[in-house]
Amino acid sequence: MTVMVIVVLLGAAIFYGAYHLLKRTEPFALGEHCMIKTPGGTLDLDIEQAQMAATIAAVAVRRKLPERALQIAYITAIQESKLANLPYGDRDSVGVFQQRPSQGWGTAEQLQDPVYAARKFFAALEKVKHYRTLPLHEAAQAVQRSADGSAYAEHEYNAKILSAAFIGRVPQAVHCWYPPSDKPVTPQTETARKQLVRALGTDSAPKRGWLVAAWYVTHAQKYGLRQVRFEGVTWTAASGHDGWRKATKPVATVQVA
């Protein structure tokens, strides 16, 4: 009987130790990624792609553009760079939209600034006649003048998921996760806010809350943010994979810490 008790206790101790070890290592096993989930579908992005998507959406809203303009930007960015800020490309093309300095888009340094690149793309799009009613890929081709404009059409489904999430039309649509830093991190909340304002402007009205929340979540790792709160839910870096959880107290504007 005594032996059996010892075996049971040892088994329980091993299980307890293994469980807590798994809990501690879980963030590392999950890696780093972002999940975009809307009624229209689900996408899996790396953090850089999600940051890019959030920034392009902020620039579109600052310019008071319709969601369709954002979808055109997304199909372009997905086709040209897979939503990455590339320092190279065909001939002298660089950046998320693969814009060319030799074609008057700006300097290579400027075009690798996502805010600047998005502004230039939207400024060109606004000059396209009837872009609001043209098929998405035709509007994209009118801006880019690429060798094969039909390729943009392949990304329309994903672009519509991204626009619904990052423009803030679908609440709680974006969450990210990544392993904790091996060193203490001081949240750079003011730096993050300034970068958001640079893309979005001073428009921080509650109606833009979910756009703002998505931007902060996708940039949380970069600026050491631990928590993003809005309305009745909270995202935390420590349990980012679990998404948005019910908060104890609703807030009317996005709060970060």
Output the pLDDT for position 198: 96
Q: What is the pTM of this model?
A: 0.88
Output the pLDDT for position 22: 36
| Tokens (6 digits) for 38 | 């809307």
> For residue range 33-79, what is the model confidence (pLDDT) as tens digits?
999 999 999 999 999 999 999 999 999 999 999 999 999 999 999 99
Between the CA of residue 15 and those of 9, 11, 25, 162, what are the distances in Å? Answer: 10, 6, 15, 42
Other C-beta atoms closer than 10 Å to the C-beta of 32 total 16
- Give the separation between CA 84 and CA 97, rounded to whole angstroms: 9
Domain spans of the chain? 36-167, 182-256
Instruction: Name the pLDDT band for 18 (thresholds 50, 70, 90).
Output: very low
pLDDT over 70 percentage in the chain: 87
